[in-house]
């Protein structure tokens, strides 16, 4: 069975406080976009003793294959559902890793939903989200995969009626890996004066002066290439441009079709959507 795990962007990202468990409370808008990996899971019917096998292709995934989130997702679900047989998993990576796009989280969440369908486990979205949070803070978002206002670690999700389909997105990844621990260490958490869920109700053309990603200040100061990409977005007509997550991908929201006429840096990974 085949699926296409998609990426997400953060529209605004405020780090509001540090928790006793070592994590941070945040508020952000998760917005899904159709930049996708390809995930295929083939169950080995009647075989339970053979270890799951993962075949990777496309963009290189850092780390050991045995630590891949797809295998972790299968193992977590199998703890409660012994009917899950051994698996042959094929993952083609198109979404860059460590880029603020949630590609790995999507792969893990989509593995859960695929296994739920393949083995007819009849798990609800809420039950799948409970498994997903064990994989990562933003994994539950990909279970329902619709625009959400996220709080807590990113797992408390409130759907928002946000439709940006009238716009074109340009996503540019310069191939820089931002260490998440370092990025958090650069911040002093504080609650914003206005809630992000209220700010996104304003026209996109006004977001530039209203919505911020707390990680931009330290990351753009440390990596001038990323700052230059954001600046380039605005020079070329973006209504709003921002870094997603802790970076390093920057996205711009443009009027429909305008980016098709613009030349972009060929040294960067560029994706135009819409």
88 among known catalytic residues: no
- The pLDDT value recorded for residue 268 is 87
Q: Which of 129, 159, 189 is the last residue of a domain?
A: 159
Two structure tokens written together for 208:
């530039």
Length of the chain counted residue by residue: 274
What pLDDT band is residue 110 in, cutting at 50, 70 and 90? very high
149 and 205 inside one domain: no
181 and 155 inside one domain: no
In the predicted structure, residue 260 carries a pLDDT above the cut 80: no
Q: What is the mean pLDDT of residues 97-114?
A: 95
Residue 187 lies in domain:
167-273
In the predicted structure, residue 32 carries a pLDDT above the cut 90: yes
List the catalytic residue out of 8, 93, 107, 230. 8
CATH at 209: 3.30.70.890
190 and 213 inside one domain: yes
Contact partners, residue 110, CB within 8 Å, separation at least 6: 3, 5, 39, 142
199 and 120 inside one domain: no
pLDDT digits (tens, 9 = 90+) for 174-196: 999 888 889 889 998 898 889 89
183 and 204 inside one domain: yes
pLDDT digits (tens, 9 = 90+) for 72-96: 999 999 999 999 999 999 999 999 9
CATH at 62: 3.30.230.10
What pLDDT band is residue 23 in, cutting at 50, 70 and 90? confident
121 and 245 inside one domain: no
- Tell which residue, 178, 9, 212, 199, has the closest CA to residue 95: 9
8 among known catalytic residues: yes
105 and 212 inside one domain: no
User: Which whole-number Å values give the CA distances from 123 to 127, 128, 251, in the listed order?
Assistant: 6, 6, 35
The mean pLDDT value of the chain amounts to 93
List the catalytic residue out of 52, 107, 138, 214. 138
Unique residue bearing structure tokens 């899904």: 32
- The pLDDT value recorded for residue 147 is 98
| Strand duo 38-43 + 6-18: pairing | unpaired
181 and 77 inside one domain: no
- The pLDDT value recorded for residue 253 is 97
pLDDT digits (tens, 9 = 90+) for 129-159: 999 999 998 999 999 999 999 999 898 999 9
Unique residue bearing structure tokens 């019917």: 45
Q: Which of 135, 159, 183 is the last residue of a domain?
A: 159
Q: 248 preceded by cis ω (within 30°)? A: yes
171 and 231 inside one domain: yes
Task: With H, G, I as helix, E, B as strand and everything else as coil, classify residue 69.
Answer: helix
Residues forming beta bridges with residue 270, ordered by sequence position? 172
Q: How many domains does the chain have?
A: 2
Q: Which helix (H) or strand (E) is 16 found in, with range?
A: strand 6-18
Q: Which of 159, 183, 207 is the last residue of a domain?
A: 159
Two structure tokens written together for 75:
């193992």
76 and 141 inside one domain: yes
105 and 9 inside one domain: yes
63 and 195 inside one domain: no
Q: What is the mean pLDDT of residues 29-44?
A: 98
Two structure tokens written together for 72:
């972790």
Q: What's the CA gap between 252 and 237, in Å, rounded?
A: 9
């Amino acid at each position: 069975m085949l699926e296409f795990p998609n990426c997400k962007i953060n529209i605004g990202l405020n780090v509001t406080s540090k928790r006793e468990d070592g994590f941070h409370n945040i508020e952000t808008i998760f917005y899904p976009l159709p930049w996708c990996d390809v995930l295929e899971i083939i169950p080995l019917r009647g075989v339970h003793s053979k270890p799951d096998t993962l075949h990777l292709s496309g963009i290189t995934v850092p780390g050991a294959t045995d630590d891949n989130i797809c295998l972790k997702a299968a193992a977590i679900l199998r703890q409660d559902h012994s009917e899950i047989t051994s698996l042959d998993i094929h993952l083609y990576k198109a979404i860059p890793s460590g880029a603020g796009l949630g590609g790995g989280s999507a792969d893990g969440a989509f593995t859960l939903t695929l296994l739920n369908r393949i083995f007819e486990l009849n798990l609800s979205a809420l039950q799948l989200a409970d498994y997903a949070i064990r994989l990562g803070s933003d994994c539950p978002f990909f279970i329902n995969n619709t625009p959400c206002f996220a709080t807590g670690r990113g797992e408390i999700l409130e759907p928002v009626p946000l439709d940006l389909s009238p716009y074109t997105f340009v996503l540019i990844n310069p191939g820089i890996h931002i260490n998440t621990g370092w990025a958090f260490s650069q911040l002093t958490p504080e609650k914003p004066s206005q809630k992000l869920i209220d700010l996104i109700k304003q026209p996109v053309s006004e977001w530039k002066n209203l919505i911020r990603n707390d990680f931009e200040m330290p990351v753009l100061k440390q990596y001038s290439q990323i700052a230059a990409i954001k600046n380039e977005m605005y020079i070329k007509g973006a209504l709003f441009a921002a870094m997603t997550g802790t970076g390093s991908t920057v996205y711009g929201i443009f009027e429909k079709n305008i980016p098709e006429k613009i030349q972009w840096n060929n040294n960067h990974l560029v994706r135009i959507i819409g």
